[in-house]
Structure 1
């Protein structure tokens, strides 16, 4: 998954403003106690991070 696709999916699910806030502020244990932004900066792939976001936030299957 490209990073641009990841951010588009985040915006589609959360809305543009909240996607940015969520990625910056929401710490998830499934990301090793990191935020989305921290996980991406630490080298996690966009696909891995999206899978965690989907699982933690109960993203509907049709948006995965």
Structure 2
């Protein structure tokens, strides 16, 4: 997962709460916010999964999110 995919996944899952969750919520598994973790070089996939655990996102909405749809010819 790339940083852009992480940001897209957070926006898709949380909508208007995305910014607040990434900047204000300290993730127990990481000991810092998602934004701070990104800045520190933590893998976006690790941050995404920690955020999902923290706010109880169901497993079926955790994997493969954030990817852009393939272009159609």
TM-score norm. by structure 1 comes to 0.86
Q: Where do 1:1-64 residues align within 5 Å?
A: 1-15=1-15, 17-31=16-30, 33-64=31-62
The Cα of 1:40 is off from its aligned counterpart by 0.8
Which segments of structure 1 move beyond 3 Å, counting only runs of 4 or more?
A: none
Which runs of 5 or more residues in structure 2 are unaligned?
A: 63-73
User: Looking at CA atoms only, which structure, 1 or 2, has the larger radius of gyration?
Assistant: 2
Could you list the per-position Cα deviations for residues 25-50 of structure 1 after superposition, in whole angstroms to 9, with x for gaps in the alignment? 1112211x210000111110101101
Report the count of equivalent residues: 62
Higher share of residues assigned strand:
2
Q: TM-score, normalised by structure 2?
A: 0.77
RMSD: 1.0
Q: Would you tell me which structure has more helix in proportion to its own residues?
A: 1
